[in-house]
Every structure is written in structure tokens, then in C-alpha cells.
């Protein structure tokens, strides 16, 4: 049974959101009855596992919780805690998934499945990331949780996936900065806009948004009358992204408004 549990958790870690998409659709109802019936721990755990295997994730989570409630001092209770968190994750109840995984870590910080518990927390935040037009607090929480996985378990399969997701999170946060910066530009708040674009090139310089951020800094500094700064950012853009559309646009701006100006 232990091998079976570990295999399922590892598979979930590798598949991430793909597992979520295929398994959560049969999650079952939160109102399904999980009445207290005293059962031996193995039978109760097996029933929870059977429900999970059939895609009935909500009921599976409740039954795993029942394992811990009825048999709190059994080794099965420790396994059930993490399997409950996993089941809630598949059911898209991310708050409960995070709570149960965190509780598992608080009670069993040195357990062999602790890396997966940290990873499950990170996944649960990651799946809640919203589009760039909304508040990005959850994105920042996902970033922090993914960084924690990478910091604690750098050689693990979980860290490898976390690093890939961190790149996507950074691109998302950079996109939010760009969206705010463009809003400030449209409002004529050029200094506020420039600060947002500088955040992108300083904090998210490896993302796909960097070329546009350099162009927007060229644009914003020209609007502020700081032509030497504008020329500097255009030069950086040309040195790093010489073939991009953003450099072509920046070159035209400089040629028109700052010809002959030396970079600061």
C-alpha cells in the first residue's frame, strides 16, 4: 500500500495541472454522506483510495479525513493527511489542499513525503493564478511557494518542475507591471509609468516583456524631457534585441526627438 501511495503522489507531481484537468471532473458532491461508522483503519483507507481511483475526489478527501479522525495514532493517519490534501487539490478545493498539506508539514516536518507536501502547496497556489488584469497576490504566493520547493529540495523532481513554473510566474508578474505601466502612460503619468517599466527590466529581465519595457522607458523618458536617459534605454534595447520591433520603434523615436544626444 505504501508503494501505491508514493507512486500516485509522484505521478501527480509530474503531471500537475494535467492530472487536475482529467481527474477533477468526477469530483463528487461535498454533500455526500460520510456518516461516522467505526471501521478498521485498513478498510477505511482502502475505501478512500477506491473513491479516489474512481475520480470521486471530494468523498475520497472526506474519507481520508475520517481515517485520521478515527485512528489518529495509526501510521495510516499520516498517509491519510497527505492523501486528503491531494484529493482536495484534484477537486480544485485549493484552500483545503493547502491547509491539509501545511498541517501535515507541521506534524511531520521530516517525513519522506515532505517534499511533495511543499510541492502540493505550491501547485495549489499556482492553479489559482488569475489574469494580469486582477490582483496578483495569489501569484506572489505561488512564486514564494515554488521558490521554497526549489530552495529546500533543489535536486528533486519537484524542484525541476517548480523552476519551470517560476519562469511562467515571473512572466505573469512582469505582464502585470507592464499593464499598470501602460495605464499610467495613457493617463499621462510618465514618471509612475517609468517606475513600473524599470521594475520589469530590474526584476524580470529574462521574461518576454523586457524588450517592450525598454521601449516604454525610452518613450517615457522622452515625454519627461530626459533625452539622455531615453537614448540610454534605446541603446540597451538595440544591444540586446537588435532585430525586435521594439528596437525599430525606439530607433525612430530617438531619430526624431533625440538625434545626436549622448546616452547618460
C-alpha cell at 72: 489518529
Contact yes or no for 218/230 (Cβ under 8 A): yes
How far does CA 212 lie from the centroid of its chain?
A: 24
Check residue 82 and give its pLDDT: 95
Work out the average pLDDT over 166-194.
96
pLDDT confidence of residue 72: 87
pLDDT of residue 75: 87
Read off the pLDDT band of 263 (50, 70, 90).
confident
99-136 tens-digit pLDDT? 999 999 999 999 999 999 999 999 999 999 987 677 78
Residues 10 and 157 sit within 8 Å (Cβ to Cβ):
yes
Residues 6+ apart with CB under 8 A from 81: 64, 68, 100, 103, 104, 107, 108
Amino acid at each position: 500500500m505504501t508503494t501505491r501511495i508514493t507512486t500516485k503522489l509522484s505521478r501527480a507531481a509530474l503531471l500537475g495541472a494535467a492530472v487536475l484537468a482529467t481527474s477533477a471532473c468526477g469530483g463528487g458532491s461535498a454533500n455526500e454522506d460520510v456518516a461516522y461508522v467505526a471501521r478498521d483503519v485498513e478498510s477505511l483507507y482502502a475505501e478512500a483510495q477506491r473513491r479516489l481511483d474512481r475520480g470521486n475526489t471530494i468523498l475520497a478527501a472526506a474519507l481520508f479525513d475520517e481515517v485520521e479522525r478515527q485512528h489518529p495514532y495509526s501510521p495510516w493517519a499520516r498517509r491519510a493527511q497527505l492523501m486528503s490534501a491531494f484529493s482536495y487539490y484534484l477537486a480544485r478545493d485549493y484552500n483545503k489542499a493547502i491547509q491539509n498539506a501545511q498541517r501535515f508539514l507541521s506534524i511531520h516536518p521530516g517525513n519522506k513525503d515532505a517534499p511533495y507536501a511543499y510541492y502540493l502547496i505550491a501547485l495549489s497556489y499556482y492553479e489559482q493564478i488569475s489574469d494580469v488584469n486582477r490582483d496578483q497576490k495569489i501569484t506572489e504566493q505561488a512564486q514564494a511557494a515554488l521558490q521554497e520547493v526549489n530552495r529546500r529540495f533543489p535536486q528533486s523532481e519537484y524542484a525541476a518542475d517548480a523552476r519551470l513554473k517560476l519562469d511562467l510566474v515571473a512572466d505573469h508578474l512582469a505582464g502585470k507591471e507592464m499593464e499598470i505601466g501602460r495605464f499610467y502612460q495613457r493617463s499621462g503619468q510618465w514618471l509612475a509609468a517609468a517606475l513600473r517599466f524599470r521594475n520589469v527590466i530590474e526584476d524580470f529581465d529574462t521574461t518576454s516583456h523586457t524588450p517592450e519595457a525598454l521601449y516604454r522607458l525610452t518613450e517615457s523618458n522622452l515625454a519627461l524631457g530626459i533625452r539622455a536617459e531615453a537614448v540610454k534605454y534605446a541603446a540597451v534595447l538595440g544591444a540586446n534585441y537588435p532585430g525586435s520591433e521594439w528596437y525599430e520603434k525606439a530607433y525612430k523615436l530617438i531619430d526624431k526627438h533625440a538625434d545626436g544626444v549622448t546616452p547618460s
